[in-house]
């Protein structure tokens, strides 16, 4: 949906990772550009230290830089404070980064919140119209946010990435917080993180996901093997995660990660609506399932009706042969 009308000032809440803006942040900037008449500003957070002098972002009006060691409460305060001081009409953030931050910021601002949106537009009377999936992805709704600022989170893959290398260099403003603000009103009891040296599933061009049909955790080793051939990432259905076969950080779907790869493999996944809602941005889907009536086949470009334990190893073997032959030709 391309907006015919525009807002005066849009604030993007984004993240820097490994000295670069994340893919999801660049998509959020593109969304902001599509609905902003004048100003597009970026409030930038980071979980790790980074060299501010080496950060070059072009094409935005203002980039607000924050300390890297902020608590969640401090981040919420900075979001709300910046939105008020800059008179922002709309706050946009990637879904997977913002999480509870935008919920709290919306509450602090007394603003309407539209979560997990796929497109944004502006109504004739100047309010945000957000398009989002409802009923587990089986329907699409247009939601009019009757507040300013409005707060929205974007589904990954909904917009093309903004080219930050074109245009004049943005103005940078350092933001600070008071030390006394560092006390959280929420106490974190413990954190569980799944370490990964590979590519993030949200950024992968190829994703290989497994579901309940795999029968247990051991087959995910074969999925890892297939994903490695494409420099891709491994995902899973909610059923596989709930069974404890893989961490919940692997989960793809409405209550997990939204992905938009060029190629998505669904191995032993039936195609429940909540899973399909997370792969709407996939360009091509390849499925293997024993059930010929599995819903996943309706969304797939290629499908194999059969036992994955026979089809997948044969497919991987063929890929290895192709890669070996390609190396010999060089």
pLDDT digits (tens, 9 = 90+) for 58-89: 889 999 999 887 888 889 999 999 999 999 99
At 38 the three-state DSSP class reads strand
Residue among 289, 154, 156 at smallest CA distance from 211: 289
Kindly state the DSSP code that residue 177 receives in the 8-state scheme: -
**All domains in the chain, ordered by first residue:** 7-182 (3.40.50.620), 206-329 (3.40.50.1220)
Residue 149, preceding peptide bond in cis (omega within 30° of 0): yes
User: In this predicted structure, which of 51-55, 62-66, 195-199, 320-324 has the lowest mean pLDDT?
Assistant: 195-199
What pTM, to 2 d.p., does this model score?
Answer: 0.73
| Per-residue model confidence as pLDDT tens digits over 167-211 | 888 899 998 876 555 555 566 677 666 666 678 898 899 999 999
Residue among 173, 238, 168 at smallest CA distance from 209: 238
């Amino acid at each position: 949906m391309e907006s015919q009308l525009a807002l005066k000032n849009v604030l993007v809440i984004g993240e820097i990772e490994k000295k670069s803006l994340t893919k999801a942040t660049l998509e959020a900037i593109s969304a902001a550009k599509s609905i902003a008449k004048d100003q597009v500003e970026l409030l930038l957070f980071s979980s790790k230290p980074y060299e501010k002098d080496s950060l070059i972002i072009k094409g935005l009006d203002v980039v607000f830089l924050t300390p890297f060691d902020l608590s969640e409460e401090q981040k919420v305060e900075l979001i709300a404070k910046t939105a008020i001081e800059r008179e922002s009409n709309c706050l946009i953030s990637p879904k997977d980064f913002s999480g509870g931050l935008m919920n709290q910021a919306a509450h602090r601002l007394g603003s309407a919140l539209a979560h997990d949106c796929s497109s944004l537009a502006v109504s004739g009377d100047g309010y945000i119209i957000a398009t989002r999936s409802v009923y587990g992805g089986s329907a699409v709704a247009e939601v009019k946010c009757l507040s300013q600022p409005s707060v929205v989170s974007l589904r990954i893959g909904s917009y093309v990435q903004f080219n930050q290398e074109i245009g004049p260099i943005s103005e940078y403003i350092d933001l600070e917080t008071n030390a006394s603000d560092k006390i959280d009103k929420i106490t974190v009891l413990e954190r569980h993180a799944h370490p990964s040296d590979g590519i993030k599933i949200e950024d992968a061009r190829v994703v290989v996901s497994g579901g309940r049909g795999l029968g247990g955790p051991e087959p995910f080793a074969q999925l890892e093997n297939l994903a490695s051939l494409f420099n891709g990432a491994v995902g899973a259905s909610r059923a596989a995660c709930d069974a404890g076969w893989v961490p919940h950080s692997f989960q793809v779907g409405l209550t997990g990660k939204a992905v938009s790869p060029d190629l998505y493999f669904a191995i032993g996944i039936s195609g429940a609506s909540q899973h399909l809602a997370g792969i709407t941005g996939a360009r091509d889907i390849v499925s293997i399932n024993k059930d010929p009536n599995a819903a996943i086949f309706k969304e797939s470009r290629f499908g194999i009706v059969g036992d994955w334990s026979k089809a997948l190893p044969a497919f991987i073997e063929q890929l290895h042969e192709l890669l070996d032959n390609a190396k010999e030709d060089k």
